[in-house]
Amino acid sequence: MILGCIGDDFTGSSDLASTLAKGGMRVTQYSGIPTGLAHESVEAGVVSLKSRTIAPEDAVRQSLKALDWLLEQGCHQIFFKYCSTFDSTKDGNIGPVADALADRLGENRVVVCPAFPATGRSVYQGHLFVNDALLNESGMQNHPLTPMIDADLRRWLAPQSKRNIAHVPASVVMSGADAIGKAFDGVTEPSLIVVDAISDNDLFEIGTAASGHRLVTGGSGIALGLPANFRKTGMISENTGKWQGENGAGVILSGSCSIATRGQIALYAKSHPTFEITADDVVSGATNADVIANWLLSKKDSQPLAYSSADPEVVKEAQDRHGRETIAGLIEEQFADVARKLVAGGITKLITAGGETSGAIVEGLGITALEIGPEIDPGVPAVRATGDVPLVLALKSGNFGANDFFEKALKVLGDA
Alpha carbons 73 and 407: distance in angstroms, whole number: 38
Parallel, antiparallel, or unpaired for β 133-134 and 127-130?
antiparallel
What is the model's pLDDT at position 87? 80
What is the model's pLDDT at position 311? 75
What is the model's pLDDT at position 389? 87
Average pLDDT, the chain: 92
What is the model's pLDDT at position 331? 87
Q: Which domains does the chain have, with CATH numbers?
A: 3-232 (3.40.50.10840), 250-414 (3.40.980.20)
Q: What is the 3-state secondary structure (H, E, C) of 174-210?
A: CCCHHHHHHHHHCCCCCEEEEECECCHHHHHHHHHHC
Span 30-40, pLDDT tens digits: 989 999 999 89
Q: Which of 361, 334, 326 is nearest to 347 (CA)?
A: 361
Residue 380's identity, in one-letter code, is V
What is the model's pLDDT at position 386? 86
What is the model's pLDDT at position 112? 98
Quick one: angle between helices 312-322 and 324-344, nearest 10? 110
| CB-CB neighbours of 339 under 10 Å | 28
What is the model's pLDDT at position 167? 99
Span 47-65, pLDDT tens digits: 999 899 899 999 999 999 9
What is the model's pLDDT at position 411? 95
Alpha carbons 254 and 269: distance in angstroms, whole number: 13
What is the model's pLDDT at position 241? 62
Alpha carbons 26 and 45: distance in angstroms, whole number: 9
The answer to whether 407 and 265 are in contact (CB under 8 A) is: no
Low-confidence ranges of the chain (pLDDT < 50): 416
Q: Which helix (H) or strand (E) holds 362?
A: helix 355-364
Quick one: angle between helices 289-298 and 324-344, nearest 10? 40
